[in-house]
Amino acid sequence: MNVFSSEPVSAALIERAGAALAAESARFASRGWMPGTAGNLSVTLARDPLRLAVTASGLDKGELTSSDIVIVDEDGAGVIGEGGSEQRPSAEAGLHARIAAKAGAGAAIHVHALAAVTAAHVWPGGVVLRDLEMLKGIGHSAHGQDVVIPVVDNSQDMVALGDAFEAVYRPASPNSRDVPALIVAGHGIYAWGADLREARWHLEIIEGLLQIALATRR
Amino acid sequence: MNVFSSEPVSAALIERAGAALAAESARFASRGWMPGTAGNLSVTLARDPLRLAVTASGLDKGELTSSDIVIVDEDGAGVIGEGGSEQRPSAEAGLHARIAAKAGAGAAIHVHALAAVTAAHVWPGGVVLRDLEMLKGIGHSAHGQDVVIPVVDNSQDMVALGDAFEAVYRPASPNSRDVPALIVAGHGIYAWGADLREARWHLEIIEGLLQIALATRR
Amino acid sequence: MNVFSSEPVSAALIERAGAALAAESARFASRGWMPGTAGNLSVTLARDPLRLAVTASGLDKGELTSSDIVIVDEDGAGVIGEGGSEQRPSAEAGLHARIAAKAGAGAAIHVHALAAVTAAHVWPGGVVLRDLEMLKGIGHSAHGQDVVIPVVDNSQDMVALGDAFEAVYRPASPNSRDVPALIVAGHGIYAWGADLREARWHLEIIEGLLQIALATRR
Amino acid sequence: MNVFSSEPVSAALIERAGAALAAESARFASRGWMPGTAGNLSVTLARDPLRLAVTASGLDKGELTSSDIVIVDEDGAGVIGEGGSEQRPSAEAGLHARIAAKAGAGAAIHVHALAAVTAAHVWPGGVVLRDLEMLKGIGHSAHGQDVVIPVVDNSQDMVALGDAFEAVYRPASPNSRDVPALIVAGHGIYAWGADLREARWHLEIIEGLLQIALATRR
């Protein structure tokens, strides 16, 4: 059953997801955050069993069509026969699936933004942000509380990367929202949200926060 | 009575203000100054009593329509029954109203520009500018006089923020124009003018001046 | 007699010049080099007597029409009755005229680019460039020769500014082309060429050279 | 015989190559990587004998048409009577031909990107990259191996520049792909690939890598 309704994942839903992923990919490509064929985006289609629509691997992210998506399962492996293309899913699909499962993300965006890679180099143990208004944009207080954007080591093993994500991810508590982002050192950033638009908002906010952190560091 | 004519605030005026606010919001969003749903703009519709059209809260600033505005009073509270939408006004509407009342602004723009936040971090007591041609763009001398862009602490209390603005605001005197901008530390910048276009000009000029100040600091 | 033919300056020529100035102004505005109403462009229409079409003062440089130009004489003063609008010419028209007269410019562009102001702050005696390929783009050798982008102090007196320009301007010699640019400290940059396109090429090249100079300085 | 089929180089192939070169040139011009008339692109049309379509010299790279190309031979000299325009080929055509011959490039792009010139200034012996995910975008490992973007001295002698390229170029071995890029100090960067799109991907990736290298240097 899909996350949007009680219907099974339909061709129309997949088409809509593909169109949205293509449009958002083009937006990030135009900002220079998708060099080469880098970066990938996903939308969670269903939760039981988990199904994501993920952008296909090896394509120019400024030129995707709504068909350039692959349906993957909770391991990020392509699922045959449930719609989408039979292209190779993005190598990082496994991490997208872990984020969808663990953090409940409805959509996730992974880009190679310079500020994220630079910040992870400067603060490999995590980027501590505090007393910045934009923290409200990811659901945190603008005053008096540290918010840490977690940093994990890069890996080509998506299981290892997923485990690293789960080790640093702190779910929402009665006192605090979670942090909808993860920096992979030497690589880039993941941000997520309830849907693609909110994922983009979170990405823009965190990129802005990281730029401020870098510009004002001692 | 509205500020443009002796007529009461008409639906046509509100529609015009909403269209202008949406267009300018999209402009700033495309420049990256409206990350997430951040930033807000206002137009002063009437002065007796004070009425502003303010962008609605929580929306993508690149996708506003002319209906995505709220009419607020001198406290920034939404006014029902005088037109505009019944959405929630921007949280900062109260400061927009204080700026309209105190500085006589016909329009104000609040964005999360990096140079402003960085400059406030470097010069928390105010950014002193001197001997720069662009100072003429905000009505000051390009030679031999200090012009200070005031900086106030961030707050979620719009009354406190309005009081802080009034404490640092220096009205025009026979010797000097006022400064049509305010930096809120850890947050962003407000700029204003007689109308939305002049408010944008002032914002562009001050952002340029702050970039020069940062690039040439010792 | 105009510089393009043996005809007197015709309405059609002025219209063409106005359209070209509006298009190039919009280009620079979109690059952020025309904050507020800053910056101005000119085309030399005739040399005997000297006549320039200069962008009008106080307008948004992203929104000019072909009518938003003023015909000025060798002092930069508006000429009535020879076409163009009766708006106020840009305050810097006098320096444009001096550049047209002294350097033989067919067109000149003045923008408030950050690299120029920063470079003038770092090297107030002039920016020395050497061993850079892009020097060829302004007619100089890419190897073994210093090329100096002159810097003069800012002034509101266009006669003083014109005199300062003439004092630092070194005409082409048998050994060297001239340098088609002038930085005004705390203000911005002028670049010029045989026509508007070449003036733009020279501006782009020099802006690029100044960015390299700043990024590689010790 | 052309590289795409067993047919001789046809007018249709040349027209297609010209259109692709014009489109990609405009893309790079809009990014500010083609200041003035700088930069040039090529497509390899045939290998026996070697023929390239190269952008013509002295034109605005944002305004090329599909006719603004020249057919050149293995020395970068214009070939008459085989199609294309009779304009002057880019001065750097000789280096494009050497890259096509030695590295087997199907297309090459040369731009004046700031990060490349700055990196060559900082690391004149070559830019060492390591442990960065984007290295995968040029076919290398993201972990544990140094990848060197070679740097050569600038020269106006294309034979000397071609010899310098061949001296630093290390072909693919059983253990490693080659590096599809060359920085010319004080000048700019060349990147290449199997076709224009891959050449662009490589350029974007390497520019991104150089920006990271500069932002994280000690």
B184 interfacial to chain A (CB closer than 8 Å)? yes
Chain B residues lying within 8 Å of A132, measured CB to CB:
117, 186-187
DSSP, collapsed to helix, strand or coil, labels residue B206 as helix
CB contact under 8 A, D60 and C197: yes
> What is the pLDDT, as a whole number, of residue A8?
67
B142: nearest CB among C32, C37, C154: C154
Q: So what's the pLDDT on residue C1?
A: 44
pLDDT the model gives residue D1: 44
> Among the CATH numbers 3.40.225.10, 3.30.360.10, 3.30.70.100, 3.30.70.890, which is that of D11-216?
3.40.225.10
Average pLDDT across chain B, whole number: 95
**Residue C8: its pLDDT value, please?**
67
Digit-coded pLDDT (tens) for A115-143: 999 999 999 999 999 999 999 999 999 99
Q: How much is the average pLDDT of A104-111?
A: 98
- Are A65 and A19 in contact by the 8 Å Cβ rule? The answer is no
Question: How close, in Å, is residue C18 to chain B by CA atoms?
Answer: 23
CA distance C77 to C93: 7
Report phi then psi at D43, rounded to 5: -125, 135
d(CA B137, CA C40): 14
| Residue D87 CB neighbour total at 10 angstroms | 16
- Confirm or deny that D140 is annotated as ligand binding: no
Which residues on neighbouring strands pair with residue B147, listed in sequence order?
Answer: B129
C124: three-class secondary structure by DSSP: coil
| D143 annotated to a ligand binding site | no
Reading the block at residue A115, the tokens are: 């500020």
pLDDT digits (tens, 9 = 90+) for A181-205: 999 999 999 999 999 999 999 999 9
Which of D95, D110, D117 has the highest number of chain C CBs within 10 A, making it the mutation to test binding with C?
D117
- pTM of the predicted model as reported, rounded to 2 decimal places: 0.95
Separation between Cα atoms, residue B42 and residue B56, nearest integer Å:
10
Indicate yes or no: CB of A215 within 8 angstroms of CB of B117.
yes
Is A40 a residue whose pLDDT tops 60? Answer: yes
Residue of C nearest to B215 (CA): C118
Q: What are phi and psi of D199, to 5 degrees?
A: -60, -40
In this prediction the ipTM stands at 0.94
Asked if pLDDT for residue B2 goes beyond 90, the answer is: no
Contacts of D35 in chain C (CB under 8 A): 134, 137, 201, 204-205, 207-208
pLDDT grade, residue A1 (50/70/90)? very low
DSSP annotation string for B6-62: SSPPPHHHHHHHHHHHHHHHHHHHHTT-S-TT--EEEEEEEETTEEEEEEBTTS-TT
Does pLDDT of D8 surpass 80? no
Mean pLDDT for B164-182 is 95
Q: Are strands A151-152 and A127-129 parallel, antiparallel or unpaired?
A: unpaired
Kind and range of the H or E run holding D44? strand D40-47
Of A37, A122, A186, the CB nearest to D133: A186
Residues D9-48 have pLDDT tens digits of 899 999 999 999 999 999 999 999 999 999 999 999 999 9
Name the residue ranges covered by the structural domains of chain B: 11-216
